Amino acid sequence: MKTVKKVLLFLRDVIELYIPMVSFCLLFLAFVLQVVSRYVFNHPFTWTNDVIVLGFCWSVILGACYTMRKKGHVQFTMLYDIYKPKVAALLRLLGNVIIIATFICLVIPSVKFSIFQNFQKTAVLRISLTWVFLPFAYFLCSVIGYSIEPCVEDVKVLMGIIPDAQEHKIDADMKAAANAGEETK
């Protein structure tokens, strides 16, 4: 069982970390090559556009999964931060349930559309457009998975098992520290 878990965690790292890194590097190199070939040698390559589009899709969509895992995404929590722990937990739970429900509804149509796009190919490299759209299906599943933990934490706050959600507590501590800093001035 530990071996299976290690393999799955490694595959997750490959999909969310290594593929976006490699795709971004390829995107950047293709972009530089395209600029140099076009403006220095006056002989543009046509295949670089395909690499840039694929690299952009993979690095942005799959990189967003890693950002979600590390809780590094942008959150607008101005209202959430001013509420007491139980109200904040309820609001965050409602928001996450809406996201989870919406994304669950999108998974199957997204996979079907990705498979449907198999007959279409990129202009030059003839890569199936399935590979352009399929990362979005993984993104949906990833966001669903990463949204479950905060939901469980919020239910625990609402049931009184824990006093506050970790994220809300950190925000409150930061606000208290900022207020203490203003008082000493």
The secondary structure of the chain, three-state, reads: CHHHHHHHHHHHHHHHHHHHHHHHHHHHHHHHHHHHHHHCCCCCCCHHHHHHHHHHHHHHHHHHHHHHHCCCCCCCCHHHHHCCHHHHHHHHHHHHHHHHHHHHHHHHHHHHHHHHHHHCECCCCCCECHHHHHHHHHHHHHHHHHHHHHHHHHHHHHHCCCCCCHHHHHHHHHHHHHHHHHHCC
Mean pLDDT check: name the lowest of 20-29, 30-39, 80-89: 80-89
Per-residue pLDDT at 148:
93
pLDDT in tens, 47-66: 999 999 999 999 999 999 99
- The pTM of the full predicted model, rounded to 2 decimals, is 0.82
